[in-house]
């Protein structure tokens, strides 16, 4: 979270500095990537994000993504059609409360905490950490007929997720709880899973600075911890583009 805050502040500072630079320049406005566009008298000139200058590939993009997951994101553009994206961050654990609660009984049965007539009753759970890594290959199509600087993309990739959980329970013997001095307990579980994901989104980059904004939706299928479990995910974000 602290890294995301620092990155957000850096981008805000960059936006402000580029705006001041553009106001102080003469007849030509230059970006950090040394490409330029002439000013039009009476109008504000726009600088196209360098991902749309086709003879200057490859490019890199670094930024952040808000959603599920909340992540730092890196994107490599080897050419105008394909890209490789890598995201690393934290899942929106609050969206999975019901799912993790339902998993309590499966953990109890698997580990046979109780014997005979004894049972464990769920009280609550807490997500201690919930880290996600995603690697995606994407195909881009220009959508400039809709808007300058707009691209649509789709692709597929692989997702890894590691979750540490703490469960609190009430221990009972038949219908009678243990003595009041020790009626409760807790246990921890580390949940590692992975599986394929399919991605679709849009990316817009027609600003005064080389920044690309994006919105994407992902469809994930679990192959390890809970085979056959599916979920839609996604988010919005910004990347600073450079080469």
> What band does 108 get if pLDDT is binned at 50, 70 and 90?
confident
Average pLDDT over residues 75-86: 96
What pLDDT, on a 0 to 100 scale, did the predictor assign at position 190?
95
Task: Report the number of distinct structural domains present in the chain.
Answer: 1
The pLDDT of residue 5 is 47
How far apart are alpha carbons 134 and 52 in whole angstroms?
A: 25
Residues above pLDDT 70, as percent of the chain: 70
Query: Using one digit for the tens of pLDDT, what is the confidence trace for 135-146?
Result: 999 999 999 889
Is the predicted pLDDT of residue 172 greater than 80, yes or no? no
As a whole number, mean pLDDT of residues 15-26 equals 44
| pLDDT classification of 54: cutoffs 50, 70, 90 | confident
β-pairing, 118-142 vs 82-90, is: antiparallel
Joined together, the tokens standing for residue 206 give 């027609």
Residue 176 has pLDDT above 60, yes or no: no
User: 3-state DSSP: the chain helix, strand, coil percent, rounded to 5?
Assistant: 20, 55, 25
Element (H, E) at 172: strand 150-173
Question: Which of 167, 155, 154 has the alpha carbon at shortest distance from 102?
Answer: 167
Peptide linkage before 109 cis (omega within 30 of 0): no
Residue 181 has pLDDT above 60, yes or no: no
CA dist list (Å): 102 to 50, 94, 128, 162, 232: 48, 14, 17, 18, 19
Say which CATH number the domain at 78 has: 2.40.160.20
Structural domain harbouring 173: 2-242
pLDDT of residue 232: 97
């Amino acid at each position: 979270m602290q890294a995301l805050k620092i990155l957000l502040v850096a981008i805000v500072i960059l936006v402000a500095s580029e705006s001041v630079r553009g106001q102080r320049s003469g007849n030509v406005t230059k970006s950090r990537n040394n490409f330029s566009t002439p000013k039009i008298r009476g109008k504000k000139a726009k600088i196209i994000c360098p991902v749309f200058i086709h003879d200057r590939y490859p490019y890199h993009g670094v930024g952040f993504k808000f959603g599920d997951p909340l992540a730092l994101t890196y994107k490599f553009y080897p050419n105008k059609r394909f890209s490789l994206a890598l995201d690393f961050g934290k899942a929106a654990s609050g969206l999975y409360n019901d799912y993790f609660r339902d998993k309590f009984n499966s953990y109890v049965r698997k580990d046979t905490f109780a014997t005979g007539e004894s049972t464990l009753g769920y009280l609550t759970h807490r997500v201690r950490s919930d880290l996600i890594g995603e690697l995606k290959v994407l195909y881009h199509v220009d959508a400039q007929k809709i808007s300058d600087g707009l691209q649509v993309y789709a692709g597929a990739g692989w997702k890894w997720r590691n979750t540490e959980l703490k469960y609190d329970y009430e221990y009972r013997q038949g219908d009678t709880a243990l003595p009041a001095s020790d009626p409760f307990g807790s246990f921890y579980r580390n949940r590692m899973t992975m599986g394929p994901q399919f991605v679709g989104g849009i990316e817009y980059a027609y600003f005064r600075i080389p920044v690309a904004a994006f919105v994407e939706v992902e469809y994930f299928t679990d192959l390890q911890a809970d085979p056959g479990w599916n979920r839609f995910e996604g988010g919005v974000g910004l990347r600073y583009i450079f080469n």
